[in-house]
């Protein structure tokens, strides 16, 4: 009996030790709703590398592009809420998709535990070498003269780059052809080759090509001009009053993740986003690194959901 009691006691101690094991004790996975090579992937990889250093465990980037990031978001929403699967959520996955996909299989608020907003990035209206327009007015005139002739590419149906173009069409009163891609990387190739006329994409992706003149930036999607492109007007000031799109991204976990795990991840993420080694390269690319509380991130999503529902309705955009 004494031997049995000792065995039971040893077993309980072992279980207790497992239950109290410090988080994390194995690699984490960060699911990114875009293919490798695009702006979101670049931001996610820089973040993952430094977050892994802070946590003492590798953070593996898992790229899952397509369908506006909906499959990637759904996968995270159904993952074990243990902190080992994280999501690099975007304005598209957390605010736009509910208005575009009537049968969306995840809830952007109920199915996730926000950790922090991490990046804010304006988009740039970029035209390729085959487009003669030198400014926004000329582009709109060209689109009106040739309805349905101009094409704009996006990172996928329902992505923020798709909606940026759809909003442009609605406010400018023009008809263009939307061509969805599985991320920014393959789209870039076709814009540079002149097979796609324009895109509303991250400055990060096109920065080098804007500088060397292979593409032209005609407008910035945010309310204010970018410090890196002071000569390029906002789309609103160039003639489309009310146009305003600033993409945002942040880290979330599945709903039900323990509060102490969220607290550990939040603290580590705060140190990462405060690091000059992370911040300086981002600022140089026109990206605003940011950090806040889970409650602030939740409030942002709540405010953005009705905003994008209205924009989707106004523009007539669909995910099909």
Superfamily of domain 122-220: Periplasmic binding protein-like II (3.40.190.10)
- Give the number of other Cβ atoms within 10 Å of residue 231's Cβ: 7
Sign for the pseudo-dihedral over CA of 167, 164, 112, 279: negative
Whose tokens are 């909606």? That residue is 163
* pLDDT score, position 1: 41
pTM exceeds 0.85: no
Asked if omega into 57 is within 30° of 0 (cis), the reply is: no
Nearest C-alpha neighbor of 158 from the set 2, 32, 3, 311: 311
Give the 3-state secondary structure of residue 278: helix
* pLDDT score, position 21: 65
* pLDDT score, position 192: 96
The DSSP symbol for 67 reads G
CA angle 30, 31, 34 (to 5 degrees): 130
Q: 27-120+247-315: which CATH number, 3.40.190.150, 2.40.37.20, 3.40.50.1950, 3.30.497.10?
A: 3.40.190.150
Mean pLDDT by 10 residues, the chain (320 residues): 42 41 93 87 94 97 89 97 97 92 94 97 92 96 96 85 90 94 88 96 89 96 90 94 90 98 98 96 90 98 93 77
Helix (H) or strand (E) holding 254: strand 246-254
| The two structure tokens encoding residue 79 | 């993952």
* pLDDT score, position 12: 42
Nearest C-alpha neighbor of 251 from the set 240, 264, 237, 234: 264
Nearest C-alpha neighbor of 87 from the set 19, 128, 33: 33
* pLDDT score, position 140: 97
Domain locations in the chain as residue ranges: 27-120+247-315, 122-220
């Amino acid at each position: 009996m004494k031997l049995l009691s000792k065995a039971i006691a040893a077993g309980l101690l072992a279980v207790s030790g497992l239950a109290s094991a410090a988080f994390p004790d194995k690699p984490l996975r960060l699911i990114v709703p875009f293919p490798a090579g695009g702006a979101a992937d670049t931001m996610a990889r820089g973040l993952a590398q430094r977050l892994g250093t802070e946590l003492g465990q590798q953070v593996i980037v898992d790229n899952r592009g397509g369908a506006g990031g909906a499959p990637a978001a759904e996968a995270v929403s159904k993952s074990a809420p243990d902190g080992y699967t994280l999501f690099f959520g975007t304005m598209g996955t957390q605010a736009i998709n509910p208005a575009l996909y009537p049968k969306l299989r995840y809830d952007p608020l109920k199915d996730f535990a926000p950790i922090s907003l991490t990046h804010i990035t304006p988009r740039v209206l970029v035209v390729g070498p085959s487009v003669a327009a030198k400014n926004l007015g000329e582009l709109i005139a060209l689109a009106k003269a040739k309805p349905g002739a101009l094409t704009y590419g996006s990172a996928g149906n329902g992505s923020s780059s798709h909606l940026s173009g759809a909003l442009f069409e609605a406010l400018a009163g023009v008809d263009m052809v939307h061509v969805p891609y599985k991320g920014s990387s393959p789209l870039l190739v076709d814009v540079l080759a002149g097979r796609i006329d324009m895109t509303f994409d991250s400055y990060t992706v096109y920065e080098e090509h804007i500088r060397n003149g292979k593409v032209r930036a005609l407008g910035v999607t945010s309310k204010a001009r970018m410090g890196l492109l002071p000569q390029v007007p906002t789309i609103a000031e160039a003639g489309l009053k009310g146009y305003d799109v600033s993409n945002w991204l942040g880290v979330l976990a599945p709903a039900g993740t323990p509060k102490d795990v969220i607290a550990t991840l939040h603290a580590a993420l705060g140190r990462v986003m405060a690091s000059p080694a992370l911040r300086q390269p981002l600022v140089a690319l026109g990206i605003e690194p940011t950090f806040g509380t889970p409650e602030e991130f939740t409030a942002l999503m709540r405010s953005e959901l009705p905003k994008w529902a209205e924009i989707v309705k106004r523009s007539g955009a669909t995910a099909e």
